[in-house]
Structure 1
Amino acid sequence: MWRILGDCLSGYCANSASPPPSQGNNGPSVRIQQTRATPLVDAANRAITDRGPPLDSPQSRTSAVPSINHEAVGKRPIDPPLIVKDVAASSSNGIGFKIYSFGGALPPDLSIEHSEISHGEIAKRIAATDKKVGIGRMEYSSQRMYSCDFRPCVPVFAYYRPADGEDSDNDVPMALYHAEAYITDRLDELLASPKHGQATDIFVVTRNADDAMRTRNGVLKQSAISLYVNSKLPAGTKFHIIEVSWGPLSLRVAADKIEVWTMQDQGV
């Protein structure tokens, strides 16, 4: 049985805006901007600027997920999800959110919580035993993991089947990727881990943005990442987008709970 609660915080990443896409022979060209140059950022710029195949429908086609801007990253629109779970603000601590599921329903007995939280509450929520995942890093664990500083960064994580002899309730292996950039090798590793095999479920947390913010750095990354994961989804793996309101994020994942926190005392 499915439980959806409501508890969320948020984090910090450098705030940067992307310029409007320029026109070229193959459609709009997109370049991600960051506050500092790193190999990961350079790779992200190249990956998103590389053009995908021509769109199979007019560019005016609306994405099935509002937080995905397929035009800006030159990819095909995302297909309609199998299931849409609309969580009303009245049942999620005053902050509504949506879950879009592709390929199958969410794992049973998984709680998803989303709420606002002040920066001062972060340390109180994170236990000493929780594993921290830094910006641009990807970690594996069967214990709780958390990561902060999601501003233009994008949370991506996966669940895998426990190995023989492991407790399916407590020893579910997980991977959490603090996506500072759009790196397809990392996403491939989440979909099919060298150690844990094919993911059972993979998640991306996206922020819904109004029209004026549709070409911002974070929207470009979450769009490219979501569209890539959906296009590469192996048979038997389910893909879920948790779409929350615009703002900086932090989150914590466990075998039975996903907590997405939006900062309430700091703008984007």
Structure 2
Amino acid sequence: MSRDWYSLDELARHLGRDRREIEKLVNRGRIPGRKVAGDWQFHPTEITHWLEQEMREYTDRELAIIEQSHRTVEHATASPIAVLLSRETIQVPLEARTKRSVLESMLEVAGRTWQIWQPAVLLAAIQERESVLSTAFDMGVAIPHPRNPVPDALGQSLIAMGRTPSGIPFGAPNRGLTDIFFLVLCRDSRTHLHVLARLGRLLQKPGFVDELRLAPDSDTSYDLICRADAELTAG
């Protein structure tokens, strides 16, 4: 098997699910793949795009499975949010009134780490992802990110967070407005999916989004996120 493709067994391990369950979904056309010489093969990039979309509807338990199966050596014992988010990468309030200005401002916030090497490249990659399908949820939260990792454009994976004083059109379902933004910039797909799964669980935590929306400043927002993240780990 080429290292550029997953076999059925490898995909099951990658997703943290039973092989028979995955095979049923594949045969029903629910998972993108192709047969070569009678064996199923799956391209990692196609699987990442498919899984990213599927995760929007996952329960906490399903997200926890994805999170566990995508842990890396660097995040083996700690939440990726605890490792990749810092006080300096949070801006509340975030003074931006349009989708583009939000993305530009969030990249400036991320740039405080000195890990953003090619901001124009990252901005273009994030805008391309948004053109395919908005990363906004119906709860007023968006998680902008590149469609594919751009490792040459940043030094280390990181997360930035910002909240605008009022909601703006960002492509949410039913034309809802968005005011909370988590910018996710990862150097590899495994870390990317790990972060998305963890953020998804955090956003499902009862009361978390409402509390975050009421946080008056960056420090309060950071402390609230860290506390909620620690509760997920402990729970």
Task: Please report the TM-score for the alignment, with normalisation by the length of structure 1.
Answer: 0.26
Question: Counting strand residues as a fraction of each chain, which structure ranks higher?
Answer: 1
Task: Please report the TM-score for the alignment, with normalisation by the length of structure 2.
Answer: 0.28
Question: Counting helix residues as a fraction of each chain, which structure ranks higher?
Answer: 2
